[in-house]
Homo-oligomer: A and B are copies of this chain.
Amino acid sequence: MTPPPAPPRRASPSTVRRLSLYLRALDTLAAEGVGTVSSQGLAERSGTTPAQVRKDLSLFGSFGRRGMGYEVPDLLHRVRAILGLDRRWPVALVGAGRIGSALFAYPLFRERGFEIRAVFDNDPAKIGSCREGLEVRPVTELPCLIRERGIEIGIITVPAHAAQAIATVLVESGVRGILNFAPTRLHLPPEIEVNEVSLSMELEALSFALAARERP
């Protein structure tokens, strides 16, 4: 009888991560034509527990039917909406090196609604060349193009020493969220969302775990 709780502005980072996992699992289930799934079933496919699944979802509303579970197409739609994937997100890519080009071609981004609408680089050899049909532009044109194309998310794949300057310009041009692949900490206003992806950190976590096992 209580209306679904107003979407909380802040869910814990772990919850948001798991919502992504649920979405992935629901995509698979929908593709398999499965109509209904229990918290148990979702938990198994996402590597968590049934209680955790129910707790996470209940933060945003009551999407299941007692005794039945969750309807896959409905829950899929709900989780997409919760994650903000019920719209398109124009994205800019700064850095047209190997990692940047790889991300550009990553099909899952587009499937989720992320559309790379601008690519920037300062290397004269790259400017003017194309990535998947989009021309690489010099960074000087960044502010203008970001605004013109309504871009709100920037992906940084430039060398560490250049990342802070790029981030600052992105924010000044209207970007509100940044995915940073450069191995350096960015200093930005607190209202800007920053997500750091450190590839070497991931390998180092493996290294730590493997080395820990060999210690006397």
Task: Write out, one digit per residue, whether chain A residues 85-119 have a CB within 8 A of any chain B CB (1) or not (0).
Answer: 10101010000011101110110110011100000
Which residues of the other chain, B, contact A101 by a CB distance below 8 angstroms? 98, 102
Which residues of the other chain, B, contact A50 by a CB distance below 8 angstroms? none
Q: A79 → chain B, closest Cβ, in Å?
A: 10
Q: A211 → chain B, closest Cβ, in Å?
A: 3
CB-CB contacts below 8 Å: A164-216 with B? 176-179, 183-185, 193, 195, 197-213, 215
Asked if residues A195 and B199 are in contact (CB atoms below 8 Å), the reply is no
Which residues of the other chain, B, contact A114 by a CB distance below 8 angstroms? 200, 203, 207
Which residues of the other chain, B, contact A19 by a CB distance below 8 angstroms? 204, 208
Asked if residues B9 and A203 are in contact (CB atoms below 8 Å), the reply is no
Task: Write out, one digit per residue, whether chain A residues 48-76 have a CB within 8 A of any chain B CB (1) or not (0).
Answer: 00000000000000000000000000000
Which residues of the other chain, B, contact A210 by a CB distance below 8 angstroms? 84, 89, 152-153, 176-177, 193
CB-CB contacts below 8 Å: A1-35 with B? 6-11, 13, 16-17, 19-21, 23-24
Q: Which of the four size classes fits the interface of chain A?
A: 35 or more
Asked if A206 meets B153 with Cβ closer than 8 Å, knowing A200-B109, A211-B84, the reply is: yes
Check A82 for interface membership: any CB of B closer than 8 A.
yes
Asked if A84 meets B207 with Cβ closer than 8 Å, knowing A102-B101, A183-B108, the reply is: yes
**Cα–Cα, bound, A45→B164 (Å):** 14
**Would you give 8 A-B contacts (Cβ < 8 Å), ordered by A?**
A10-B212, A20-B198, A20-B200, A21-B185, A89-B210, A102-B102, A176-B210, A193-B210
